[in-house]
Amino acid sequence: MAAGALLYEYLPSPKEGSASPSVSNDALAADAKDDKVPWLTRVIASEMAGKADTWAERNSKHLELAAEVADTKLIFQEAERPKVWRMRNPS
């Protein structure tokens, strides 16, 4: 605990500006090359750069499947048992 408190003063300060990078691939590539960014952020940015079309396709497919599941669930929720005609004296 004490070692962490002492080392905190010597850790690099966070990057100035917004916490999330821009949506463009150029910003991701620039962040991946920047040495001031933590190594994990650089790895994620380099892996995600250039895959915007793939993620857009996956998101649209997920939206389509989620809508289909919602429709199916709605159909099952609206289902009713058939009415049973009960007779007092069937004979």
Whether 82 is in a domain gets the answer: no
Q: How many domains does the chain have?
A: 1
Whether 28 is in a domain gets the answer: yes
Per residue of the chain (91 residues), what is the pLDDT tens digit?
778 877 877 777 766 655 555 556 666 666 556 667 788 877 877 777 777 788 889 999 999 999 999 999 998 888 888 888 888 887 7
**Amino acid in the structure at residue 19:** A
Whether 4 is in a domain gets the answer: no
Whether 31 is in a domain gets the answer: yes
**Cβ-proximal residues to 27 (8 Å cutoff; 6+ apart), any chain:** 21
User: If we measure between CA atoms, which residue out of 1, 4, 44 comes closest to residue 21?
Assistant: 44
Question: pTM for the full model?
Answer: 0.41
Helices within the chain (DSSP H only): 2-8, 25-33, 39-48, 52-77
Whether 58 is in a domain gets the answer: yes
Domain that holds residue 51: 22-76
Distance (Å) of CA 73 to CA 63, 64, 80:
15, 14, 14
Whether 81 is in a domain gets the answer: no
Whether 9 is in a domain gets the answer: no
Whether 1 is in a domain gets the answer: no
